[in-house]
Structures are given as structure tokens and as C-alpha cells.
Amino acid sequence: MPVIRIAEKPVNVNEEGFMTQYDEWNEEIAKELAAQIEIPLTEEHWKIIKFLREDFKVQGETATSRRVQTVGGVPVKEQFALFPKKPAKKMAYIAGLPKPKGCV
């Protein structure tokens, strides 16, 4: 698996560029990942990213859009507004988590 430099740190990623080591992530890295896919991070974005990080720690897998709505409390419509077109994957990418596995 490749190692790349993000926010001055070496970071393990998969062949698509998603981070593979939960503990290598920090907020500086998140900012740089978000900038690379042209998402300016606001408080609302951070709320979702922090939910995804906490949820992954407990569940061991990345929350789907559905779960971000039902458990994280951010409606699907808002997720699409904050992370346009492909919210589930973009949220996971910035949060340093794998793509969600669930279908819904």
C-alpha cells in the first residue's frame, strides 16, 4: 500500500487515496484532504466528520449516509448540500476512514 505525505506527515493510503490507518488522521490532515477535493470545511462539515470518527471507533465500520441521518442527526438532504454529488464517499475520505460498505 502506498505511503504519501499529507500535512507534513507520512500517511498510509489505499490505491484510491483513502487513508488506511485510523490513528494517523488528525484535523490538519482532514483540512488538506478536503482542500484536495474542493470542499471548504465549515462547522456543519466538522460535525459530520467528528460523528464519523467517533462512530467508526465504536462500530468498526464507516457510517452510511442513512446512519449519519438516523444516528448522527444530519439529514440526507443536508449531507448532499455539504458534500455534493457523492456525500458518503467524500465524508469518509475526509474523515480518514474506508468507504462505507453498506448498501443503504
Partner 1 sequence: MTPSIVPNFGSESTDRKLAIICSKGNLDMAYPGLILANAALGEGVETMLFFTFWGFDMITKSRMNDLQFSPAGNTAMHLPGHNMHIPQSMMPAPGMTAVATHMLKKQIADLDVPEVPDFLDQIVAAGGHLWACRMSADMNKLEMNDLRDDVEGIISASDFIEMTEGAQLLFI
Residues annotated as catalytic (active site), given as ranges = 103
User: In whole angstroms, how close is the CB of 64 to partner 1 at the nearest point?
Assistant: 8
User: In whole angstroms, how close is the CB of 42 to partner 1 at the nearest point?
Assistant: 18
CB 55 within 8 A of CB 63: yes
User: In whole angstroms, how close is the CB of 50 to partner 1 at the nearest point?
Assistant: 21
Residue nearer to partner 1 on the CB measure, 57 or 101: 101
By three-state DSSP, how is residue 2 classified?
Answer: coil
- Nearest-5° Cα angle at 5, 33 to 16: 60
By three-state DSSP, how is residue 14 classified?
Answer: coil
Cβ neighbour number for residue 104 with a 10 Å cutoff: 7
Judged by the rule CB under 8 A, the positions of this chain that interact with partner 1 are 2-6, 10, 13, 15-18, 36-37, 64-67, 69-70, 75-77, 80, 84-90, 93, 102-104
